Each structure stands twice: as C-alpha cells, then as structure tokens.
Structure 1
Amino acid sequence: MDGDDSESTVMVVDDTAASRYALGAVLSRAGHSVIPVASAGEALVELDVRLRAGGLPDVALVDVGLPDMNGFELCRRLKAQPPTAALPVVHFSAVSAGPAYRCRGLDAGGEAYLAVPAEPEEIQAVVRAAVRGARIRTGAETLVRRLTLLSETIAAVQTARSLRELAHAAAEGTARLTGSPAAVFVLGEDGELYRGLSRSRARAALPDPGAHETVARLIRHATAGRTGVRHTVVPAPLWPAGFFRPGASDDAHLVLAPAQDGRAPVCLATPAHADRGAAPNTDALVARLARATALAAEPLLMYQAERHVALTLQHSFLPQQLPEMPGIDVVVRYVPASRQTEIGGDFYAALRTADGVLTAVGDVVGHSLDAATVMVEIRHALRAYCVEDPDPGVLAARLDQMLQHYHPDATATVCLTLVDPAGGRVRIANAGHIPPLLVPDTGTAEYAEVAGPLLGLGLDRPPPAELTLARSHRLLMVTDGLIETRGTDLAVSLEQLRAAATAAPPGTAALCDTLLDCFGRDREDDIALLALRLG
C-alpha cells in the first residue's frame, strides 16, 4: 500500500461477466491492477491465497447482489476477521434501492457505495478515496503501534540494572522497530565494550573479542568531536562479520548517540540492507531510542565508576596474603559481588597482639562507596584499639562507640576471635554476625554458641564466649554473602554451609576453596572468608 492511489490493486467481485469486464476496463485505464472474481466464495479463496503470499488488494468493489452470499454479508465477514478487517470495501449495485442500500453497506462496514452504471471519473474517484482513507488509517495505526513499542523499550532500558541488561533491552527494541537483527554497544570510559543482541541473534555463536575491539575503535572514530545523534553506514569489509548473522558479513547501519557529557557513546547497529522504508519513521524512532539509551546509560556508568573506586578500596585494604602468624595457620578469601551488584563493606583482619592472634570478619550494612569507606575506618580502628587491649568483648564495645560517634546512621556486623596459639584458648565476641564454625578433620562441623547485637546500636553486650580449639579442628568465619540467597531462610542456608564444611577435605585453604566452589558463584553480595587452625 505504498504506491500512488491511482496505481492500486482492485478486486472486483461481480457475478455478471459483462459488468466485471466494464468495471475492470475503467479501472485498468486509470492505472489500477484488477482482480476479477465471480462470487463471494471465490473472493474469500482469492483473499486467503493472497494473504499467504504476503499481501491483500488495496480495495474490493463488491456487488451487493451476489448469488452465494450478498455483498453486505461478505463485507461483514471480511471486517470481522483481523487479517482482512483493514481491506476497504466499496459496494455497488445496478438495482435502484434509494438510500437503503447505502445505509446497509455502511452498517456492514463498507467505506462507500456506487450506483452503476456510473461515470468512469466517479468510479475512479471513489476507489482513490477508499484507498487513501485506508492508507491513512493503517499508517496511523502502525505509527501508534510503533510508538507504543518505542515507549515499552525505553521503559525497559530505563529500568535496566546493568549496562549489559540495558544493551540487551535496547537491542531487542531496535530489532522489533526495524524488523532485522540488531546489536547494541555501550562504550564505557574505561574502554570496556558492553554488548547486547536481539534474542533471535543471541542464540547463535558470537564474534570473538577481536571483533569487539574493532567495533570499539569504529565507535570512537565515528563519535570523536561530534555531538547529537548521527547515522552512518559502515561497509562490510570494515564491520566485523557475525554480529547480525553467524559468520556473515553485512554493511552496518549505525545510529550513534553520546551521553550528555559527550562520553560513553551508545551505538545501535542493524544490517544496512534491511528495508528501512518498510514502516514509517523507522530511522527517527531508532534515533529516539538511541538518545534514551544514552541517557539511561549515564547513571549506570557513574555506578561503574563508583564501584571501581569501592573495589579498589577493598583490594587495597584486604590483602590476599597475610603476614606470618606464629603458631597459627590463617587463610583468607575475598570475592567481590557480581558486576551487576554494588560493592558492600565486607572485611576481614588477622592481627598479632600481645595475647595471641586477633581475627575478625565483618560486614558494614549497605552497598555503596560509603559502606566500603566505613569498612576501612573499622579496620583502622580495630588495629589501633587492639594494641591497648585485644580482648574481643572490649573491642566490640569500642567499635560500637566509634560508629555511634562518627557514623550514627551506619551499622555493621562483626565476629572477633582472640586465639592463644600455645594452648588453643579462643575468646569470641559476636556482633550480629554469623557465628564461627568449628570444622573437624573428621566428624561433624558445629557452630559456636555466641551472639550479640550489631555494632552502631549502643546496646548492652554479652560477655565473650570461650572455647578450646583442638589441633584437629579448623575455625571458619564467613560473611553472609557466601550463603544468603533471596527467598531462602537463613537457617536453611546455615545448615547447607555446615554440611558442606563437614564434607570438605582437610586443610584451611581446601576448606575455603571448597565452600567458594559450592556457594560463591554470581553472588549478589561480597564474600569474605577466614579459616584458621593451630600450627
């Protein structure tokens, strides 16, 4: 339905051969293609065939006096079926019935009515008007559908929790708007390329990292020194094969939109050979989506920058190798949360004191750069306080006061142990944390019975618990990021941890690594582990 109104395809439904010929001749002379059929049944069959082939006529001229089904009933049937409902119908009749036939035709859903014989100019004008009206209605409906699709895609992009999720949502929306495979790229300030593919393409093998580096260079070159949304076509020899079709090389149509500050450009890519005229305003709608995607990427990119700073803090203050602890074998592990999650305030410490080895594992409540910063202050305070008095109960109280004074809105959990390497005596203070797990080389692991309120609340604390650590036992301390799963009761997760620790092979390093293999993949929170045994 994209051609001129005078070059349309018209189906003429008339049981009288002479009338079909006469109408066909008038329409053919005006440049229309004519499909003559002799009955309502034949018309339905012809329309079904054309639907399967991919296109209906532009208008149907229907005699009201057909022998197998009158023209009004045929019109009702066409308008009642979604595939043919948009087909404009013009009724005609040689029988003079006054306004009654006109009213019946309009009530049945027809667009117009002709009394024949009629002047050729009138017939042609009625057909043109019916086609033009149908095209306007169809174009408006199509635009509404596509604007609805655009708004749905923008909503999905704006609610994305990560740059990869954002890119996938934008790619799927681009594919639906253009009717072709799509790839979306966001180039971060650190040079990392975040990619999303439309669902139909994402199931196949993907291009290698070298292809992604090529795309990153093309995006940097195409956006250098430019502002606003721009369109460009990259020839197949320059565009890596495989993004649109597995192993295939295509020219790429790129729509590029930088963020407001000109950094971190967004690129929406589709095959350049795609029929961009198949639907109205395709390029304009994709450009709007590119702008919306660039705007939605900005806070996610800022989060990535903040996450990088927090992660740097974590790594700098949580060394993977601890200094030698005479008489005690200590192993630590730290695993940051998945890239889609904010860094939290998990920490560990192992310090030599005059009374033995002080160990701590804790977690500042919350996930942000602020939580990581408070974590650093707690570790510094712990190092300073333990020089004067390393008793876990005293340290817990002093850390509680420090948080109340300097960070009244912050809370933290921590478990503190003071281990005497010579005799195995252990004093434990627990502030709202998972209690230590005693893991024998053979036998069943058990949690130490020790509890207490979180740091930062100013509540009374029970005295530390005491136990004796046998040389055949390991003491394990973890943060809840290792086992806590949304929707699962913590008691269930604790029992799963106890069972896994019981089944772990001997050794402190083997214990930590076994538990990380069991629980530590794609977690939504940081993980800190500390395991020790007497040397």
Structure 2
Amino acid sequence: MLSEGWQMDVNGKLTGTTVMVVDDMEVNRYAMGTVLSRAGHRVVPVATGGEALAELDARLRKGTLPDVALVDVGLPDMSGFDLCRLFKERPHTAGMPVVHFSAAAVAPVNRCQGLDAGSEAYLKVPAEPLEIEAVVRAAVRNARLRADDRALVRRLTLLSETIVTIQAARSLNELADAAAEGVARLTGNPAAVFVLDQDDRLHRGLSRDRIPVALPDESADRTVATLLRRLARGQAGVQLTTVPAQLWPTGFFRPGVDHDARLALAPTQDSRATVCLASPARGIRRVGLEGEALLAQLAQATALAAEPLLMYQVERHVALTFQHSFLPQPHRLPDLPGLDVAVRYVPASRQTEIGGDFYAALRTDEGVLTAVGDVVGHSLEAATIMVEIRHALRAYAVDESDPAVLAERLDRMLQRYHSDVTATACLALVTPDTGRVRIANAGHIPPLLIRGDGDADYAKAAGPLLGVGLPHPEPTELFLDPGDRLLMVTDGLIETRGTDLTASMEQLRAAASGSLPGLDALCDTLLACFGHEREDDIAMLALRLG
C-alpha cells in the first residue's frame, strides 16, 4: 500500500515521497536535492553515516521514516555499503530501499558489494534528472510491492491461525470470541462477531483490545439482530456491506464512540443461521481489497465452524427436553411415606455436551427405591438410553425390590439392546420403618452417609458397570438413624480433568460433613462448592428418614 504522503501525478509518477540523501559534499547534496524537490519529493539531506542513523532514530520516534535513501558510496565515517548493511540489520528500517551513487569510478565488484548489502540499484553521477527520478520511483515501487507481499503473508498466517482456533470452539459464544479476536488482528481495530441462530438468538463475541467497560446492552443486541435479519434475507454467499453510524449501535467497537460498521455476513449452508463479522469501516478501508477478501474468507470459515455447534445446540435442546420431561421435578416427586427426598439436576456448562445422568425415587412393596446413574458418553443417544434405563427400572421395580437383582436386569437389558453402551448406577432400597438401607453399586460413586453429628463416610458398596455382563455382588447393608442423611451423586459434581477422583471424593465428604442440617441445605451447599462450570451433567439425590 502507498503511504499517506505518496501520490501519483498525471503521468503516473510517484510524488510526495521522502528521500534521504547521504553525501558529505554539500554541493552534491544541494544538486541531488534540487532535482528531487523539483520532481515533488521531500528531501532530508545528511552528511555522514552517523548523522543518517541519528536522523532515522529521531524519525522513528515520530513515525515518519523516509521512503528511500540515496547513499554515497564514499562517506567519511563508513562506506555507503556498511551504512546500507546497518539499515538492513534494524527491523524498523530493513524495508527502506537504498540506492547507492558515486561520482567516482566504482569497479563492478564493488557495485556487487552494494547489491549484496541490500541496495536496490547503483547510480553513476552526475546523472540526468529523469534517470535519478526513475531510479527513485523504481526503488519505492519495489519496496511497496515487497511490503504488500509481507503484509499479505502476515494476514494469511493470521487467517489460518484464527480458523484453527474457531474450529476448536466448543460453543457459539466461544466461536464468536475467537473470530472477533481474529478480525481485530487482521484489521488492527476492535471487532465484534455475531451468530444469529435458527431460533433468532444472538450470540456475541468482542475482541480483547476493546476497553472492557460499558458493554452494549440488550437493546443494542436487538438492534443488531434486526439488522442481520434484514440484511441476510435472500442472501447467498458472503456479503460485504457498510452500516452508517446512525444505524449501528454505539459501543460495540469503542465505548461511547459512533462508527460506520463494515460487515461481512455469511449464511450457514442451510441458510437458517447467519454469521456477521463487524469492525469500524475506517479501519477496514486501511487494509484494502486484499484485507477485505481475507475478511470474507474468515466469515465463510466462521459460518462453516458454526454449523456443527448449531447442530449440537439443537441436539442439546432435545436432550434437555428429554431429561427435564422424564426426570421428576422436586415438586412432582411421588409421595414417599416415611422418607424425605431432595433432588437436583444441573446440565453441563459446556453447551456442546449432552449427558445421560438421571435420578429416580420409586415406591416398592418393600420400601422406597432410590437411584442415580450416568450413561457413559455425551450425546443425544446417551440421553435417550438414560430414559430407557429409568423406564426399565420402573417396570422391574413393580415386582422386584432387591437392588442387586435390579442391577443385573438393567445389565442384561443394556447387553441385549445396546451392546456397545455402558452405564454406572447406584441403587438404594430404604425401609423407612427400620432405617435399613440395602445398596447395589454398579461402577458408581458410592453413597455418602452423613450422620447427625456431622461425621460422614462412604458406604462400602462396589460392583461392575452396567452393560459388561459381570455378576453383581449381594447388596451392602447399613442403617439410618433419625437425623442421618444419605447422599447419592453422579461424578459430574466432582470429577475434574487432571485431578484424582479419590481426592475429589474426599473434598466432597469434607464439604458434606460441614453443611447445614437439612436436605436442601446439603444439596445447595455442594452445588455452591463444586457445581460451577462443570464439564458434565450433575444428578443428585439426598434422603433422610421422615
């Protein structure tokens, strides 16, 4: 790209460039400067290599480096070739083109030395003004092309890095954040990215360089959603458009500042959702047509990366509908004489994960059967099989109460109908009149018994997973006293990647023993301690004698 000071005259010649002339002879500097000034260039004359380096340092602080340097070969403090090497060794001046000149005869081998040092050309003076101007013009144009190529390579690298990041996103909001950061790096300006999904919900991401105050409110989001619906109507392919500042909400790019917004919109393949990349229009203009083309590519890549997340979102909604429909809510638990029960269910915080966790509380001929379990895997299938297990358990419990027998029947059901699926479950049969509890544990976290005095310990109950076809041991037996509480949870409450499950279970035991009395207090305390941003669903059931 041409710098702001460069211009073209009617003959297509570059004017307005800044040329540094380095020559220890004042008369030569004057002559060269006169020729260049008459051609419309700004001239910076210096006498020595040391003065040239000092001048560049001063201009670097102001951001006004020369566009080209004409350097005499024979300087008093260093050769012009050495000065050129020093220019090229410095990162901020390495791209500045250098033209060597000399009034004395220079052997071809010395001219080659200048080219090896990084100069663009060699000029024998005195020279015709047209020749001097042509050499300067060629040097500046070549430098411009190289700078453009480097900028393009840099942007292509940024584009590739951003695409890798957005493809690894696990939610639409995470995707929008990653894409916004990529737009900001490509354009050098704050950016916002929006995904308008098939249910007209707007998912937003902002680049990190935006000042983190005065975030846009819901009204701003509604305005953007309305704009996107209007712009995306009938759209095919990527669309680049500018929205005037009076129509674009204030604050998405810089708090309290109005901007014309340059948008790159891309629909998903089914056209049910729209991705929008937004940045200040003035900043987009600075990156030029190539930059806009890369922005369009990023919009398309973001739309492609959004498609599986949108599919997961639909699948997650269906799965949660299954879970909430088939898991009895606390106010809809069956009447369980002699027993108080509290339950909790918390979906995974990761929006793309769908679990198969469940709980159950059933009246049987011999008492109350409680259960928690977890189908291995995260998918709509896992949620569906969870529903099957709950229904099977309800059916088996009509004429059977022994938890070990029930575990074996569930095991056979999985082997026959879902041979590639396993599940964990813990079943407890409670006799309220006597406080007797019989526990069958199929690969699950054992129940935690919290005594009335606050002492807590896990029941010594273990057994194989459901679905593997191994025999289940006789139930473990314990007795509840008035005031005792029995807690059954799925591992989503405490399991953390990189942390030993035994250590997490000990933390759970300590938290439960220190909780306030009551079932709701116990459940709420544990969710407050462990239930934030979990990667798996949480099912929890707590009981005590009524």
Quickly name the TM-score band, shorter chain normalised: over 0.9
Contact kept in structure 2, 1:400 and 1:455, CA below 8 Å: yes
Deviation at 1:70, TM superposition (A): 2.0
CA-to-aligned-CA distance 1:107-150 (integer Å, 9 cap, x gap): 22211111111122222222222112111111111111111111
Unaligned stretches of 5+ residues in structure 2: none
Q: Residue 12 of structure 1 aligns with which residue?
A: 21
CA RMSD of aligned residues (A): 1.4
| CA–CA distance in structure 1, aligned partners of residues 116 and 461 of structure 2 | 82
Query: 1:216-255 maps to which residues of 2 (within 5 A)?
Result: 216-255=225-264
From 328, 342, 356, the equivalent of 1:345 is 356
Contact kept in structure 2, 1:441 and 1:505, CA below 8 Å: no
The equivalent of 2:346 in structure 1 is 335
Letter in 2 for 1:160: A
- Structure 1 residue 194 corresponds to structure 2 residue 198: no
* Correspondent of 1:354 among 339, 359, 365: 365
Aligned position for 2:279 = 270
Deviation at 1:409, TM superposition (A): 0.5
Which structure 2 residues correspond to residues 122-201 of structure 1 after superposition, within 5 A?
Answer: 122-201=131-210
**Counterpart mapping for 1:383-402 below 5 A:** 383-402=394-413
Query: Cα offset for 1:251?
Result: 1.9
Deviation track 1:210-243 (CA, whole Å, cap 9, x = no partner) reads: 2111111111111011111112222222211111
User: Is the 2:372–2:489 Cα contact (8 Å) retained in structure 1?
Assistant: yes
> Which residue is 1:90 aligned to?
99
Cα offset for 1:339? Answer: 3.8
Alignment correspondent of 2:487: 476
The one-letter code sitting in structure 2 at the alignment partner of 1:296 is A
Q: CA deviation at 1:275?
A: 5.6
SS in 2 for 1:366: coil
1:103 is displaced (CA, Å) by 2.0
Deviation at 1:423, TM superposition (A): 1.1
3-state DSSP of counterpart to 1:334:
strand
* CA distance in 2: counterparts of 1:507 and 1:443, whole angstroms: 12
The amino acid across from 1:116 in the alignment is V
CA distance in 1, matches of 2:450, 2:517: 9
Matched, 1:99 2:108: yes
C-alpha separation in 2, matches of 1:317 and 1:237: 50
Q: Which residue number in structure 2 is paired with residue 445 of structure 1? A: 456
Rounded to whole Å, the distance in 2 between the matches of 1:55 and 1:299 is 48
- Aligned counterpart, 2:528: 517
Partner of 1:34: 43
Q: Once the 2 structures are TM-superposed, how far is the Cα of residue 202 of structure 1 from its aligned partner?
A: 6.0
| CA separation of 1:290 and 1:37: change in aligned 2, threshold 3 A | same
CA contact (8 A) 2:350 2:535 kept: no
Larger CA deviation: 10-19 vs 334-343: 334-343
2:227 alignment partner AA: L
Separation in 1 of the partners of 2:253 and 2:75? 51
Q: CA deviation at 1:99?
A: 1.7
Q: TM-score, normalised by structure 1?
A: 0.97
1:72 aligns with 2:75: no
Aligned counterparts of 1:161 and 1:339: Cα–Cα separation in 2: 7
Query: Which segment is superposed worse, 141-150 or 394-403?
Result: 141-150
Q: CA deviation at 1:29?
A: 2.3
- Hey, what's the Cα distance between the residues in 1 that align with 2:336 and 2:89? 84
Q: CA deviation at 1:174?
A: 0.5
Matched, 1:492 2:511: no
Q: C-alpha offsets along residues 384-418 of structure 1, whole Å, 9 cap, x if unaligned?
A: 00111111011011000000000000111111111
CA distance in 2 between counterparts of 1:70 and 1:154 reads 48
SS of the residue aligned with 2:256? coil
Q: Does 2:294 align with 1:285?
A: yes
Tell me the residue number matched to 2:334.
323
Secondary structure of residue in 2 paired with 1:253: strand
Relative to the length of structure 2, the TM-score reads 0.96
Q: In the alignment, which residue of structure 1 is the partner of 2:542?
A: 531
Q: SS at 2:372's partner residue?
A: strand
**What's the CA shift string for 1:160-187, capped at 9, x where partnerless?**
1111111111101111111111000011
Paired residues for 1:350-389 under 5 Å? 350-389=361-400
Q: Which SS does the other structure have where 2:252 is aligned?
A: coil
Per the TM alignment, residue 303 of structure 1 is displaced from its structure 2 partner at its CA by 0.6
- Give CA-to-partner distance per residue, 1:430-484, whole Å, 9 cap, x none: 1011111111121311111111000000001111111221112111111111111
Corresponding residue of 1:47: 56
C-alpha contact 2:313 2:352 (8 A) present in aligned 1: no
Contact persistence 1:256–1:267 (CA under 8 A) = yes
CA–CA distance in 2 between the matches of 1:129 and 1:247? 45
User: 1 CA distance for matches of 2:287 and 2:54?
Assistant: 27
Q: Which residue of 1 aligns with 2:435?
A: 424
* Alignment deviations for residues 172-209 of structure 1 (CA, whole Å, 9 cap, x no partner): 11111111110000111122211111111163331111
Q: 1:202 to 1:119 in 2, by over 3 A?
A: closer
* 8 Å Cα contact 2:439/2:477 also seen in 1: yes
> Which residue does the alignment assign to 1:507?
518
Q: For 2:518 and 2:146, locate their aligned partners in 1 and report how far apart those are by CA, in whole Å.
A: 75
Measured in 2, the distance between the counterparts of 1:301 and 1:351 equals 37
Check whether the contact 1:143–1:280 (CA below 8 A) recurs between aligned residues: no
SS at match of 2:118: coil
CA distance, structure 2, for counterparts of residue 499 and residue 406 of structure 1: 40
Shift of the 200–367 alpha-carbon distance from structure 1 to 2, 3 Å rule, reads same
3-state SS, counterpart of residue 279 of structure 2:
strand
Instruction: Report the CA distance shift for 1:189/1:202 in structure 2 as closer, same or farther (over 3 A).
Output: farther
Distance 1:425 1:42 in 2: 96
- The answer to whether the 8 A contact 2:48-2:75 is kept is yes
- Give the whole-Å Cα distance in 2 for the aligned partners of 1:503 and 1:361: 23
Q: Is the 8 A contact 2:195 2:275 kept in 1?
A: yes
Q: How many percent of aligned residue pairs carry the same amino acid?
A: 70
Cα distance in structure 1, aligned partners of 2:184 and 2:373: 47
CA distance in 1: counterparts of 2:118 and 2:261, whole angstroms: 45
Give 1:248 deviation, angstroms: 2.1
Counterpart in 2 of 1:466?
Answer: 477
**Aligned partner of residue 520 in structure 2, secondary structure:** helix
Corresponding residue to 1:409 among 420, 428, 435: 420
Structure-2 change in CA distance of 1:280 and 1:131 (3 Å): farther
- Identify which of 49, 55, 58 aligns with 2:67: 58
Give the secondary structure class of the aligned counterpart of 1:461: coil
